[in-house]
Chains A and B, each alone.
Chain A
Amino acid sequence: MKFLTAKSTLPFLGLLGMFTFFSLSSTSLKAQEDGEKLFKSYCASCHSAGNNQLVGPGLAGVYDKYEREWLYKWIKNSQSLIESGDQQAVAVYEQYNKVLMPAQPVNNEQIDAILTYIKDYNEKAPAAEAATADAGEVEQVEVESSDNTTYIALGLVLVLLILISVLRKVQYSLSIVEAKKRGEDVPEEKGMKDALAHWVQTNKTIVALMGIVVIALIAKAGWDTAINIGVYTGYEPEQPIKFSHKLHAGTNGIDCQYCHTSASYSKSAGIPSANLCMNCHAYIQEGPQYGKEEIAKIYAALDFDPVTKTYGPNTKPIKWVKVHNLPDHVYFNHSQHVAVGKINCQKCHGPVETYTVGKQHESLTMGWCINCHRETKVQMEGNGYYDEIHERLPENLKKQYLEDGTITVSELGGIECAKCHY
């Protein structure tokens, strides 16, 4: 220790101080992170860290409103606190519709970390909100500007055509002036029509060939149009609410049949009624893409007040636009395909979990149906009825149907006309 003079200890102490400072700040950072993590895993399903009420009240200000000791007791076992007759506890219980808060498996330190997180959250929240609002505005402007390209292109083509015709005219009159100057015989003004007729007279083969090409092109275009009448592949109508399948079925992994519940029971897969949206959106009031705007449309349809969580009488149905329209002369049943055939939704509807807007993926033409019926193997393993009936088939039929070891839908009559048209 003798060697540690004042000069040498100073930087050492400084270093030590810096070290303790960093380690301290990092522990407080860690506590905050832990607080967030703990809040999300124990509290977030019933409480928001801000002011809005979910199942329970928003937790902003709770750290100042109640004594720490009381909070510890309440969080660890609110029921026993109420039963012990604690006045504050009973008051809180009565105030929030007598919904019991489950006991939470957290210790005092963890509760402190959670409360610190909630405090930090509320002090930082206003700034963060303003920032997200700005970002939203910028995005919207960008979307609007990228719409007019086709009109601009058409306008350009029109201008070019006018320019060409004007230039032709100028060239023509110039050539006449030239000819007159040279003293040649200028045919009287014949007009465009006569000139055209003259050209046709002299170039009959070219005209005939051009005629054939034009007729063929028109026929081809006509055929293509006619064969695509009633085929709406890629039909992607704009919906009244910007619902994203990508977000719900893709990112959040919600099963198709959670919302389209009747797919395995009925002819129609069903468009979910708004009460089904409210299973989650009574609490999730803000989306990652459009904020509160689109979710508010569900509330408007149900006359739901997101603050008091009550429903009013002025309901207005949401007018979703139907995407898949099958003509009336063909019968299609979802339950037959989903429940019995065990066909994935994606087989006909495409990768819906990647669509931001619902669209028709397949053509839904008869050829498309028939192809699938020809290729799809019927799964009859473990079905005693079919085992027995195949056993009893006469030899020639056995050879015809069972030789390849598979039975397709068409072999069971899946391409009979009356299967779908009746």
Chain B
Amino acid sequence: MKSMKKTFNYSFAITVGLVFTMFSCDDPNSPGVEYMPDMYRSPAIEVYVDYEFPDSSTARLTPEHAIPRGYKPYPYPNSTEGFELAGENLSNPLHLTEKTIKEGKALYNSFCAHCHGKKGKGKGSIQNAIYGAVPSYSDTLPNRRGNRSMKELKEGHIYQAIMYGLNAMGPHSSLIRERDRWKIVAYVQTLQGKDPLDMQQDKMQETKEENEDSNEEVAKLN
């Protein structure tokens, strides 16, 4: 009889304990119970896991002076002069095809359309008034960016604007990769009412002719 009473007491204590633990799990930030944490938690370093670094940040910066693979320095500073220089000197390094433009369109719709509008007219879906006065790419009003209209902006200007942002537009170099930036530039040119495919071909023709000219000159000299 005594032992029965003991078991009863034990089971009572366990029940109370269980009920207590069940209620104590009410923390909305705890996902709940898990099986075998050693199979759930990665022994290798994983993204967004708190490894209790001294600055409590889980997203780590790369070591100082580290350079990503394929990195090319960008020589144009974030200033009015840099904007002009980039416009003059930069050109699209990609070989443009119909497919590049199509990919550019998809990227444009993800990264640009909510402010610049799907058709590049500046009528995006953002409700805030600050982003309600975005200029249209095909705008021909003079003196909109320096001494040129929006439509006259060259590929280098557009690329520089993606890199550093312009006026109320923030810099997008950290979210869009270099290749993708150039694809977007090509698509934006179509929204300006230009044909980037044609333009690139013309340019290649020109450089080819220039090369031939210089070759001829070299031949003459010889």
Binding site for B on A (CB under 8 A): 40-46, 54-55, 77, 79-80, 98-100, 102-103, 105, 229-230, 232, 235-238, 251-255, 257-258, 261, 265, 267-268, 271, 273, 275-276, 278-280, 282-284, 316-317, 319, 321-322, 325, 327-329
Contact = CB atoms under 8 A, between A and B. Distances in A.
User: Looking at B55, B114, B176, which has the most chain A CB atoms within 10 Å of its CB?
Assistant: B114
Contacts of B130: 44-45, 54, 283-284
B193 interface: no
A238 B29 contact: yes
Given A79-B147, A255-B113, 17 more contacts: A40-B129, A42-B133, A45-B132, A45-B167, A54-B130, A100-B80, A102-B144, A103-B143, A235-B31, A252-B126, A265-B177, A273-B174, A279-B170, A282-B170, A317-B55, A329-B39, A329-B40
Contacts of B32: 229-230, 232, 235
Interface residues of B, number: 56
Nearest to A319: B56
Nearest to B172: A279
A146 B30 CA distance: 22
A283 to B, nearest CB: 5
Contacts of A327: 34, 39-40
Interface string B54-70: 01111100000000000
Contact of A229 (B35, B143, B145): B35
Given A237-B29, A319-B56, A103 B141 contact: yes
Interface string B23-66: 00000110111110001111100111000000111110000000
Nearest 10 interchain pairs by C-beta:
A279-B170, A253-B125, A45-B133, A103-B143, A317-B57, A328-B42, A255-B110, A327-B40, A237-B29, A44-B129
A265 B179 CA distance: 13
Given A258-B114, A279-B170, A329-B40, A102 B33 contact: no
Given A79-B143, A238-B29, A317-B57, A230 B168 contact: no
Given A98-B80, A100-B146, A317 B125 contact: no
B166 to A, nearest CB: 9
B110 A258 contact: yes
A230 B32 CA distance: 7
A46 B174 CA distance: 23
**Interface on chain B toward A: helix, strand, loop, or mixed SS?**
loop
Contacts of A265: 177
Contact of B114 (A40, A46, A100, A254): A254
Contacts of A322: 48
Interface of B: 28-29, 31-35, 39-43, 46-48, 55-59, 80, 109-111, 113-114, 124-135, 141-147, 165, 167-172, 174-177
13 contacts: A40-B133, A44-B129, A105-B141, A229-B34, A251-B127, A252-B127, A253-B126, A255-B110, A261-B175, A279-B170, A325-B40, A327-B39, A328-B40
A235 B128 CA distance: 31
B126 A103 contact: no
A255 B110 CA distance: 5
Nearest to A41: B133
B47 A268 contact: yes
A157 B129 CA distance: 54
Given A279-B165, A283-B168, A321 B35 contact: no
A282 B170 CA distance: 8
Contacts of A325: 31, 40
A238 to B, nearest CB: 6
B103 to A, nearest CB: 11
Given A258-B114, A327-B39, A328-B40, A44 B133 contact: yes
Contact of A230 (B40, B47, B131): B40
User: Looking at A42, A54, A102, A329, which has the most chain B CB atoms within 10 Å of its CB?
Assistant: A102
A258 B33 CA distance: 34
Contacts of A316: 56
A273 B173 CA distance: 13
A257 B110 contact: yes
A182 B146 CA distance: 113
A257 B111 CA distance: 8
A102 B127 contact: no
B48 to A, nearest CB: 5
Nearest to B174: A275
Nearest to A286: B128
A365 to B, nearest CB: 12
A252 B124 CA distance: 9
Nearest to B139: A105
A235 B34 CA distance: 13
A273 B168 CA distance: 19
A255 B29 contact: no
